[in-house]
Amino acid sequence: MTLATDAASAAPGTRPGRRSVAPLLVAALVTLALVVASLFVGVYDLRADGGAAMFLITRVPRTLALVLAGSAMAVSGLVLQQLTQNRFVEPTTSGTSEWAALGLLLSVILLPGAGIATRMVLASLSAFAGTMVFLAVLRRVQVRSTLVVPVVGIMLGAVVSSLTTLIAISTNYLQLLGTWFMGSFTSVVRGQYEVLWVVAAVCVAIFVLADRLTVAGLGRDVATGLGLRYDRLILVGTALVAVASGVTTVVVGFLPFLGLVVPNVVSLLRGDDLRSNLPWVCLGGVALVTACDIAGRTVRMPFEVPVAMILGLVGAAAFVALVLRVRRRG
């Protein structure tokens, strides 16, 4: 629990909610700069003939998708971390994304004619069921040290994704799995991303629930003692995360580490108040995924490197750095 205690003591006695807004403004400006840069990075010369049309067909949708998916996955990580009281949990370490993938594959096999909305609903339902299974298993686990919790999640995720692979092999979909679930914004164009707006609603709902989620992060007994309807909050929180993961998985694929690195960095820097951290986590998620996508678009022009690959690299490095930094201080 070094991470948690360190983060809590990082801001002793301060009330983060009342802090000056100046740093947040700077963070917002930096994120905005990245978002604007994303609009102007690409192979097509916008000054050329048809540049304006191309801007609207590919650049704007892609950038909006980055903003929506980035904030949703980062915030989902934060919510899961509160619900499980563990800093290492996020949709890809709780099995949530793997369940969403299973739901998506099943929807494709069982309902071939279904539209993207049906797919999203099924992926989200499956993600919800999977996350509930994870939480139920956690309740029965006696040793709940920092590392056991994500290990349980990763194990469940591995079981589910091997089932997904088995189904894919027997139905000849294996080749497609990689394409579907590799997080990439390359194919995001007008008419392809609009369903992502659903996750904007998820973000708003999480902002509304922020205080209650913070209390839930203190544990079942404390939360219930403070008058919180704990079980219902767990359901609602899980449902929100499931929708965010389900929709993002269907549209862009897995975005590893996003929900892990961003909330942890924010907590390290600012302490643990969820409500005042939320805007930071949102901005951080957007900034990180946008920066990674811009890098993915530029390193091998005119080809692209999927954002998931860059996120994996950057995320893993950032996370190791975080852990080492905490240990040095401790």
Partner 1 sequence: MPTRQSHHRLAAVLTAVPLALVLAACGGTADAGTDAEGAETAAAATTVTIEDNHGSVEVPVDPERVVALDNHVFETLSAWDVPLVAAPKGIMGDGLWPGYTEDDAVLDVGTHREPNLESIVAAEPDLVIGGYRFSDSYDDIVAQNPDAVVIELHPRDGEEQSAELVRQVEALGQIFDREDEAARVVADYEQAIADATEAYDGESTVVGLITSGGEISYSAPVTGRSIGTLFPTLGLRPAIEQAAEDTSHGDDISVEAIAAANPDWIIVLDRDGAGVGEGEYRPAAELIGGSEALAGVTAVAQDQVIYLDPDFYLTEDIQAYTALYEQVAQAFTDAA
For 43, 67, 71, the CA distances from 58, given in Å and listed in that order, are 11, 14, 20
Query: Quick one: 58 or 277, whose CB is closer to partner 1?
Result: 58
Of 18, 136, 175, 330, the one binding partner 1 by CB under 8 A: 175
Query: Quick one: 30 or 169, whose CB is closer to partner 1?
Result: 169
Residue 179 sits in the site that holds partner 1 (CB under 8 A): yes
CB 80 within 8 A of CB 128: no
Of 13, 17, 113, 115, the one binding partner 1 by CB under 8 A: 113
Name every residue whose Cβ is closer than 8 Å to that of residue 279 and which is 6 or more positions away in sequence: 24
Query: Quick one: 54 or 234, whose CB is closer to partner 1?
Result: 54
Of 134, 180, 193, 254, the one binding partner 1 by CB under 8 A: 180
Of 174, 269, 322, 323, the one binding partner 1 by CB under 8 A: 174
What values do phi and psi take at 254, rounded to 5? -75, 140
For residue 248, the minimal CB distance to partner 1 (Å) is 16
Name every residue whose Cβ is closer than 8 Å to that of residue 188 and which is 6 or more positions away in sequence: 58, 61, 62, 65, 251, 252
**Dihedral sign computed on CA atoms, order 158, 243, 316, 147:** negative
CB 248 within 8 A of CB 69: yes
Q: Applying CB under 8 A, what is the total number of residues that bind partner 1?
A: 42
CB 199 within 8 A of CB 244: yes
Query: Quick one: 54 or 89, whose CB is closer to partner 1?
Result: 54
Intra-chain end-to-end CA distance of the chain, in Å = 11
Task: Pick the stretch among 18-26, 89-97, 226-234, 300-308 that binds partner 1 (CB under 8 A).
Answer: 300-308
Site string for partner 1, 54-83 (x = CB under 8 A): x--xxx------------------------
Residue 169 sits in the site that holds partner 1 (CB under 8 A): yes
> In the structure encoding, which two tokens stand for residue 228, read together?
């919180």
Residue 11 sits in the site that holds partner 1 (CB under 8 A): no
Query: Quick one: 5 or 118, whose CB is closer to partner 1?
Result: 118
Residue 106 sits in the site that holds partner 1 (CB under 8 A): no
Of 1, 109, 147, 317, the one binding partner 1 by CB under 8 A: 109
Residue 184 sits in the site that holds partner 1 (CB under 8 A): yes
201-216: b (≥16 Cβ within 10 Å) or e? ebbebbeebbebbbbb
Of 17, 22, 136, 172, the one binding partner 1 by CB under 8 A: 172
Of 108, 218, 235, 323, the one binding partner 1 by CB under 8 A: 108
Residue 304 sits in the site that holds partner 1 (CB under 8 A): yes
Residue 118 sits in the site that holds partner 1 (CB under 8 A): no
Residue 44 sits in the site that holds partner 1 (CB under 8 A): yes
For residue 54, the minimal CB distance to partner 1 (Å) is 6
154 sits in which H/E element: helix 148-170
CB 245 within 8 A of CB 196: no
Q: Kindly give the interhelix angle for 2-10 and 307-329, rounded to the nearest 10 degrees.
A: 80
Residue 186 sits in the site that holds partner 1 (CB under 8 A): yes
Instruction: Give CA angle at 277 (273, 281), nearest 5°.
Output: 145
Name every residue whose Cβ is closer than 8 Å to that of residue 268 and which is 6 or more positions away in sequence: 3, 6, 7, 10, 322, 325, 326
Nearest to 147 by CA among 323, 328, 17, 329: 323
Residues that bind partner 1 (CB under 8 A): 42-45, 49-50, 53-54, 57-59, 108-109, 111-113, 169, 172-176, 179-180, 184, 186-187, 189-191, 297, 299-306, 309, 312-313
